[in-house]
Amino acid sequence: MKFSNTYSQLDGAFYQRISPEQVSRPQLLLWNDELAGWLQLTEEFCRDRALLAQYFSGNRLPDGADPIALAYAGHQFGSFNPQLGDGRAHLLGEVLSGNGQRYDIQLKGSGQTLFSRQGDGKCALGPAVREYIMSEAMFALGVPTSRCLAVVATGEPVFRETAKPGAVVTRVAASHIRVGTFEYFAARGDLGSLKTLADFTISRHFPDIAGNPELDNEEKILHLLQAVINKQISLIVSWLRVGFIHGVMNTDNTAISGETIDFGPCAMMGIYHPGTVFSSIDTRGRYAFGNQAAIGQWNMARLAEALLPLIDAVPEKAVARAEPLIRQFSRDFDLAYRQMLANKLGMATADEQSTALANGLLTQMQEQELDYTQTFARLTLSLKDAGLTQQLGQELGPWYDSWRTLLADNAITPARAKSLMAQNNPQVIPRNHHVEAILQDYEQNGGSDSINDFLTVLRSPYRLLPQTEKFQDLPADGDRHYRTFCGT
């Protein structure tokens, strides 16, 4: 593993330098070969599973690692907490992929840090495996996301309501800079660090801004804000495309890189309803499926606020420059969202008719309590299947005919529509009941026979494999009783 660390070269205000805690009996449960290859880890490094268990439990540091726990703040359910930070995570360092992209390698569940507050610094096995499964599924679905390289069981219990087996999960992300990282320095009035962070972020994630000689320093900050907003818009539109509910879109869980991060209470929507919430602590539905765009905008407003001192020394002037970008979020989101829905219905561009048609379908899905993924998947297949055409014609009534008519009116052949739809409508999502069954196996038996089959299916979400059917049945209760937890 060849580290090339940059964040740990920043000054001590940004992190605590601290090693992971030792664990007693590390055992490598999951190892992501494909990701290891992408990160250019050598075969020799990956061969010895006992050694990998030592490295990715935190027991032994790979050469060149420089472990740190990052400082950050964040708005949690709307309330500001000035001091969060990695309370159970250690960033080992950064590595470069074959195409020169830089990735953080971070252990989570690896022990207490300065930022642990009341927490034990640990992670239970269930949430670690959930993070692995969900992030692999999201990656295969084409959604920007952090990924997992390994899950190592620690051989030690962690105490939640009851004793549970413990684990360390290794996360790989373009960086771990969060909206909350900016808020941390802004709230302290530490403008020097805020500026350092902005420069670091621009050169790491948005080199085009850094290298643009036409921009002065203040304009660079505005461009940074716009670039982060654009990434959030694409991210949330992809979540909505596949029916993903993040569940805890706090600003400390909003990565500047535009990747999905923190899979704690996330879930997939089955039956379409914009009000769908599974997280047990989200009692008011702040992070409901259909609220995610508005929350994305709210989070970007918090980022803008944190950046204000770098935009203009006079607060009113800074606000006047940043505010239009936040306002524009809704319009840009709406455009991207309508485009995504048009694509899901086989049309390359959105117009009033495609939007009206899509809204009609969503309303009908809500009223008839239809499964979101299955409905779009069946519509896709129906373009080449007369039996399914007839079935859907009956189930969806006049809507189905008006869809086919609109395609025909726009001279879109069924074959062309199908090929676009097949790229936008997954046949497979990580269904909540299957994810839970596997997590239960891990918690009770230390492993699961079916995880490899499940991962194989999840890694080809746009194709039906022989094993697919086994994992795509709908939950008996329509997930009406399903609840998720933060996993802390």
Ligand X SMILES: Nc1ncnc2c1ncn2[C@@H]1O[C@H](COP(=O)(O)OP(=O)(O)OP(=O)(O)O)[C@@H](O)[C@H]1O
DSSP assignment of 289-338, as one string? GGGHHHHHHHHHHHHHHHHHHHH-SSHHHHHHHHHHHHHHHHHHHHHHHH
Q: Which stretch binds Mg ion (CB under 5 A): 32-40, 104-112, 254-262, 380-388?
A: 254-262
Q: CB–CB of 253/80 below 8 Å?
A: no
Q: CB–CB of 248/225 below 8 Å?
A: no
Q: Which helix (H) or strand (E) holds 47?
A: helix 43-47
Shorter beta-carbon distance to ligand X: residue 70 or 310:
70
| Active-site position among 86, 104, 252, 371 | 252
Shorter beta-carbon distance to ligand X: residue 281 or 465:
281
Q: Which does 338 bind (CB under 5 to 8 A by kind): ligand X, Mg ion, none?
A: none
Which of 154, 175, 253, 260 binds Mg ion (CB under 5 A)? It is 253
- Residue 317 CA: distances (Å) to CA of 221, 310, 320: 14, 11, 5
Could you say which residues in the range 260-289 bind ligand X, by CB under 6 A?
Answer: 261-262, 264
Q: Which helix (H) or strand (E) holds 108?
A: strand 102-108
Using a 10 angstrom Cβ sphere, with 0-12 exposed, 13-18 middle and 19 or more buried, the burial of residue 89 is buried
**344 annotated binding-site participant:** no
**416 annotated binding-site participant:** no
68 near ligand X, judged by CB under 6 A: no
Known active-site residue 252: yes
Q: Please report which residue ranges of 189-267 form alpha helices under DSSP H.
A: 191-205, 207-210, 217-242
Site string for Mg ion, 221-240 (x = CB under 5 A): --------------------
Least gap, CB of 125 to ligand X (angstroms)? 13
Least gap, CB of 105 to ligand X (angstroms)? 13
Shorter beta-carbon distance to ligand X: residue 89 or 322:
89
**290 annotated binding-site participant:** no
Q: Which does 385 bind (CB under 5 to 8 A by kind): Mg ion, ligand X, none?
A: none
**178 annotated binding-site participant:** yes
Q: Which helix (H) or strand (E) holds 166?
A: strand 163-173
Residue whose structure tokens are 């500047």: 256
Could you say which residues in the range 111-140 bind ligand X, by CB under 6 A?
Answer: 115-116, 119-122
Q: Which does 398 bind (CB under 5 to 8 A by kind): ligand X, Mg ion, none?
A: none
Could you say which residues in the range 85-104 bind ligand X, by CB under 6 A?
Answer: 85-89
Shorter beta-carbon distance to Mg ion: residue 193 or 253:
253
- Pick from 294, 365, 481, 475: which is nearest to 285 by CA? 294
User: How much helix, strand and coil, in percent to the nearest 5, is found in the chain?
Assistant: 50, 15, 35
Shorter beta-carbon distance to ligand X: residue 83 or 410:
83
Which of 262, 282, 371, 479 binds Mg ion (CB under 5 A)? It is 262
Cα dihedral 119, 153, 131, 202 sign: positive
Q: Which stretch binds ligand X (CB under 6 A): 19-27, 84-92, 291-299, 375-383?
A: 84-92
Alpha carbon distance 97, 102 (integer Å): 6
Residue list, annotated binding site for Mg(2+): 253, 262
Q: Which residues are near Mg ion by CB under 5 A?
A: 253, 262
Catalytic residue annotation:
252
